[in-house]
Amino acid sequence: MVKISMTVNGKNVEGEVSPRTLLVEFIREHLKLTGTHVGCDTSQCGACVIHVDGDSAKSCTMLAVQADGSNIITIEGLANGEEMHPMQAAFKENHGLQCGFCTPGMVMSAIDLANKNGDLTEELVREGLEGNICRCTGYHNIVKSVLDGANAMKAAE
Amino acid sequence: MYEFNYDKANSAADAASKLAASDDGKVLAGGQTLIPTMKQRLAAPEDVIDLASAGLSGIAVDGDIVVIGAMTTHATVASSSDVQSVIPALAELAGNIGDNQVRTRGTIGGSIANNDPAADYPAACMGLGATIITTKRGLSAEEFFTGLFETALDEDEIITAVKFPKVDSANYQKFPNPASRYALAGVFVAKTGSEVRVAVTGAGNDGVFRAHKLEEALAANFSADVVDISPMPEDSMIEDLHASAAYRKNLIGVMTKRAVQAC
């Protein structure tokens, strides 16, 4: 077992894990933050996307030990109390989801995209969400949500 | 995933000695191939040696050479103003590997050490005439890539950096598999003076290769019109559920033409 510590959603957390524990398992099973989802076994679906030191990453494709000492944000770390993050609010407003299973990953990827691009276009959003698979919506409302959410994030700066 | 021992290396030399001391060790770079493979139990190393703290990340420009540390992520290469100004085609290639999340973790060293026959970076290394620097030596791309998932690396040898020379013009075109985004065929064309290099990934049975006949034709006349793939042996192409050998061979021609036109 290996001792690890990291900052998750602004709080210091510690744990003792087997090296083979995936970061997403640590987040869901040790920290009980079950908003981060696991939608596949093959690192393809993006439901588990979180932010690691400011970059979006698939938490199913990282070992928990690799995240030792890093700063992690999960979907639970976005809202300010009862007030949703602008990207979450945009997904709600634009009906950017149906079953909602992929949504945590979509929102985390979308925020990273908005943070790293000046002006998002539909093309950039569609390319940028390549690593996130939704099996319900056909992506149309997701793209609308991300564009709206990015604008709202900029307006809130 | 099977159990393994985890260790961190604090330098490339430290990683190499830890690797040498292990019966069945693997170095962990960005983990974007190794971890999925271990999850599927297709790989089950006894020891995993993490290179994250080995100080192998970073980009430097030395005259007309771009030196990229082995642990530099695809996202870093794609957004590097140095790479964008000296070898723009390389930055563009890095920005189209996998998806955003693969690019924030995946590294150049990991990609070329794995030598996946459909990976993008091997085409850039071969097309640009890169030198792969390891803990033991420097190898040309032709010496380094030896076959499907095979490289010239010894058991205890680790890539530390890749050196790319500046070229007059270059372009990379790939036809991605619609599901996996790996190249069904990808062609890197580079031109320096009268020398032309054409490197093909995704299509060859033995992984990345240089298309010498295309190079000769393009060196004589750098025009998409001279691209003729008919002499290429079809039985040297990958044939699988994603595409037939004939389809891949045809894609090489289409991607080469597009790359030449974009050069």
Q: In chain B, which residues have their Cβ closer than 8 Å to the Cβ of A43?
A: 32, 35-36, 39
* pLDDT higher than threshold 90 for residue A157: no
Whether the per-residue pLDDT at B179 is higher than 90: the answer is no
For residue A9, the SS3 value is coil
| pLDDT, tens digit, 9 for 90 and up, residues A28-56 | 999 999 999 999 999 999 999 999 999 99
Closest to A131 in 3D by CA, of A52, A24, A49: A49
Among B28, B40, B101, select the one facing A49 at the smallest CB separation.
B101
Contact A77, A8 (CB under 8 A): yes
Q: Do A66 and B31 touch (CB under 8 A)?
A: yes
**B60/B76 Cα distance (integer angstroms):** 12
Residues of A with CB under 8 A from a CB of B: 2, 18-20, 22, 41-44, 46, 49, 52, 55-58, 60-63, 65-66, 109, 112-113, 128, 130-131
CA distances to A56, A152, B52 from A142, rounded to whole Å, are: 18, 15, 34
The DSSP call for residue A134 is -
Q: What are phi and psi of B135, to 5 degrees?
A: -65, -10
Q: Confirm whether the ipTM is greater than 0.85.
A: yes
Render pLDDT for B78-108 as a digit per residue (tens, 0 to 9).
999 999 999 999 999 999 999 999 999 999 9
Q: Mutate one of A23, A66, A71 to test the B interface: name it (highest B CB count within 10 A).
A: A66
DSSP B2: -
Q: Helical H runs in B182-224?
A: 212-220
From B40, B98, B105, residue closest to A57, measured CB to CB? B105
Q: Is the pLDDT of residue A137 over 90?
A: no
Q: What confidence score (pLDDT) does residue A150 get?
A: 97
**Cα(B237)–Cα(B253) distance, rounded to whole angstroms?**
13
Is B183 exposed, middle or buried (CB count within 10 Å of its CB: 0-12, 13-18, 19+)? buried
To the nearest whole Å, the CA of B39 is away from the closest chain A CA by 8
Closest CA in chain B for residue A43: B36
Helices A140-156 and A86-93: angle between axes, nearest 10 degrees: 140
A141 Cβ partners below 8 Å, 6+ apart? A94, A95, A96, A97
Using only C-alpha atoms, chain A has a radius of gyration, in whole angstroms, of 15
Which residues in chain A are contacts of B7 at CB distance < 8 A? none
Query: Which residues in chain B have their CB less than 8 angstroms from residue A22's CB?
Result: 1, 35, 39
The whole-number pLDDT of residue A138 equals 83
Tell me the CATH number of domain A2-77, given options 1.20.1270.360, 3.40.190.290, 3.10.20.30, 3.70.10.10: 3.10.20.30
| Minimal C-alpha gap between B89 and chain A (Å) | 19
Pair B175, B251: CB distance under 8 Å: yes
Q: Domain residues of chain A, as ranges?
A: 2-77, 86-156
Q: State which residue of chain A sits closest to B101, comparing Cα positions.
A: A57
Domains and CATH numbers, chain B: 5-50 (3.30.43.10), 59-165 (3.30.465.10), 169-262 (3.30.390.50)
Exposure string over B20-56, b if 16+ CB within 10 A, otherwise e: eebeebbbbbbbbbbbbbbbeeebebebbbbbbebeb
Rounded-to-integer distance, Cα A38 and Cα A61, Å: 11
| pLDDT 10s digits, B116-159 | 999 999 999 999 999 999 999 999 999 999 999 999 999 999 99
| Per-residue pLDDT at A118 | 85
B166 — contact with chain A (CB < 8 Å)? no
Residues 68-97 of B with CB under 8 A from A: 75
* Interchain CB distance below 8 Å, A63 and B35: yes
Query: Of the candidates B5, B31, B100, which has its C-beta nearest A62's C-beta?
Result: B31
Identity of the residue numbered A117: N
The β-bridge partners of A52 are A55, A72
Size of interface A-B (CB pairs under 8 A): 75
Mutate which: B79, B99, B177, vs A, most A CBs within 10 A? B99
Return the CATH architecture of domain A86-156. Orthogonal Bundle (1.10)
pLDDT tens figures, B190-247: 999 999 999 999 999 999 999 999 999 999 999 999 999 999 999 999 999 999 999 9
- Cβ-based neighbour number of residue A9 at 10 Å: 16
Question: Residue A66: which of B52, B75, B181 has the nearest Cβ?
Answer: B52
Nearest-CA distance A9 → chain B (Å) = 19
